[in-house]
């Protein structure tokens, strides 16, 4: 089968489930991943024959796409903050909104002229390591700790750090066991703590795409409706103990719970609490400073 024929095959199989622009994106991603060909190569040589072993994988990928499995899991990677990250069903697929959180952190560090400082940074619920590794790449003198409850996620985060020529310190721990964490971090304080914890309430499942619901890890997505801020409470309490004076706490949050988050942060003892919208105009992240003693 030639490239142009495979494109027709892909389109015929998926046109009832995906918009044409997304199908085209799938085509280029799959061909670049399997044959290493860029768009310009494909445009110049549309009649290239696909080797049988590659065609077998591509047809399998189409079958998986028909079942609405995310393309990132099929090819095993995704782009985030100009880096390539391995992903698997044990990790969430990084979102553009999380890139905005990384940008906010880096802009804050830059504004304080601390880009070259040996900052101590903790990323809680690291997943694929997208936040931790992106920060490590852009703050080469910082020491980055990446915590997750999932051993499988930490393996991927550690591999992503190596693949992107950075170093992070992976920690397997349950953030809800705050007492254990305080002993774990005894004698260690941080300039910045950041987290993108589970925040989707069960009642919001109906708003989600089937490919997310059926494929991405629920452990990293959902919280009970009656305790939607449980992870934020625990992390804020830990951050109050473990942040240095004037240390910063950053969160990615549920778009519907912005005011509640600001109240929680104020009640926990943080000041200069800011709520920031994402590119889609939804409340999506917060920045707070630990109160000086």
Q: For position 276, which CATH number holds?
A: 3.40.50.150
Out of 67, 96, 116, a domain closes at 67
> So what's the pLDDT on residue 207?
62
> So what's the pLDDT on residue 282?
94
In the β-sheet with 190-195, what is the strand arrangement from edge to edge? 169-172, 143-148, 120-124, 190-195, 243-252, 283-290, 270-277
> So what's the pLDDT on residue 104?
98
Compute the average pLDDT of residues 1-13. Answer: 93
- pLDDT, tens digit, for every residue of 184-209? 888 889 999 999 987 665 556 556 56
Residue 277 inside a domain? The answer is yes
Q: Residue 199 annotated as binding?
A: yes
> So what's the pLDDT on residue 45?
86
Number of domains in the chain: 2
> So what's the pLDDT on residue 183?
76
Q: How confident is the model at residue 221 (pLDDT cuts 50, 70, 90)?
A: low
> So what's the pLDDT on residue 185?
82
Residue 11 CA to residue 7 CA, distance in Å, equals 6
Q: Residue 211 annotated as binding?
A: no
What percent of the chain stands above pLDDT 90? 70
Q: Residue 148 annotated as binding?
A: yes
- pLDDT, tens digit, for every residue of 12-65? 999 998 999 999 999 999 999 999 989 888 888 888 899 999 999 999 999 999
pLDDT, mean over the chain = 89
Checking if the pLDDT of 216 tops 70, the result is no
How many Cβ atoms are within 10 Å of 225's Cβ, its own excluded? Answer: 10
List Cβ neighbours of 212 (8 Å cut-off, separation of 6 or more): 70, 221
Q: SS3 for 200?
A: strand
Is the model more confident about 116 or about 169?
Answer: 169
Token reading at 236: 């804020």
Q: Residue 110 annotated as binding?
A: no
- Can you give the residue range of the structural domain that contains 155? 83-290
What percent of the chain stands above pLDDT 70? 89
Residue 130 CA to residue 92 CA, distance in Å, equals 10
Claim to verify: residue 188 and residue 112 sit in the same structural domain: yes
Claim to verify: residue 57 and residue 90 sit in the same structural domain: no
Query: In whole angstroms, how far apart are CA 284 and each of 55, 96, 99?
Result: 41, 11, 11
Residue 194 inside a domain? The answer is yes
Claim to verify: residue 21 and residue 117 sit in the same structural domain: no
Q: Residue 247 annotated as binding?
A: no
pTM (two decimals): 0.89
Q: SS3 for 278?
A: coil
Checking if the pLDDT of 101 tops 60, the result is yes
Compute the average pLDDT of residues 98-114. Answer: 94
> So what's the pLDDT on residue 223?
63
Checking if the pLDDT of 292 tops 90, the result is no
Residue (of 128, 198, 139) closest to 170 by Cα position: 128
> So what's the pLDDT on residue 180?
72
Q: Residue 164 annotated as binding?
A: no
Residue (of 143, 96, 128, 97) closest to 251 by Cα position: 97
Q: Residue 128 annotated as binding?
A: yes
> So what's the pLDDT on residue 257?
87
Identify whether the C-beta of residue 106 lies closer than 8 Å to the C-beta of residue 139.
yes
Q: Residue 292 annotated as binding?
A: no
Residue 72 inside a domain? The answer is no
Claim to verify: residue 22 and residue 87 sit in the same structural domain: no
Compute the average pLDDT of residues 244-249. Answer: 94
**What is the helix, strand, coil percentage profile of the chain, to 5?**
45, 20, 30
> So what's the pLDDT on residue 184?
82
Token reading at 154: 């930490």
Claim to verify: residue 100 and residue 146 sit in the same structural domain: yes
Residue 193 CA to residue 137 CA, distance in Å, equals 17
Claim to verify: residue 180 and residue 244 sit in the same structural domain: yes
């Amino acid at each position: 089968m030639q490239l142009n024929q495979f494109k027709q095959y892909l389109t015929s199989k998926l046109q009832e489930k995906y918009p044409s622009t997304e199908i085209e994106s799938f085509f280029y991603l799959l061909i670049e991943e399997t044959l290493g060909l860029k768009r310009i190569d494909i445009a110049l040589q549309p009649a290239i024959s696909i080797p049988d072993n590659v065609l077998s994988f591509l047809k399998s990928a189409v079958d998986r796409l028909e079942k609405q499995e995310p393309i990132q899991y099929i090819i095993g990677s995704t782009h985030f903050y100009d880096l390539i990250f391995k992903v698997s069903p044990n990790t969430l697929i990084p979102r553009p909104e999380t890139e905005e959180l990384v940008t906010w952190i880096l802009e804050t560090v830059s504004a304080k002229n601390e880009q070259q400082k040996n900052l101590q940074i903790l990323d809680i619920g690291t997943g694929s390591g997208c936040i931790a590794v992106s920060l490590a790449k852009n703050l080469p003198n910082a020491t980055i700790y990446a915590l997750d409850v999932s051993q499988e996620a930490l393996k991927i985060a550690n591999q992503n750090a190596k693949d992107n020529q950075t170093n992070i310190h992976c920690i397997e721990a349950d953030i809800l066991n705050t007492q254990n964490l305080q002993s774990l971090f005894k004698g260690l304080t941080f300039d910045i703590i950041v987290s993108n914890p589970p925040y989707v309430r069960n009642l919001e499942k109906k708003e989600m795409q089937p490919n997310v619901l059926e494929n991405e890890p629920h452990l990293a997505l959902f919280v009970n409706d009656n305790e939607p801020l449980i992870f934020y409470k625990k992390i804020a309490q830990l951050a109050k103990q473990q942040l240095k004076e004037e240390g910063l706490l950053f969160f990615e949050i549920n778009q519907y719970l912005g005011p509640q988050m600001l109240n929680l942060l104020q009640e926990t003892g943080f000041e200069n609490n800011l709520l920031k919208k994402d590119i889609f105009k939804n409340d999506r992240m917060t920045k707070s400073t630990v109160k000086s003693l």
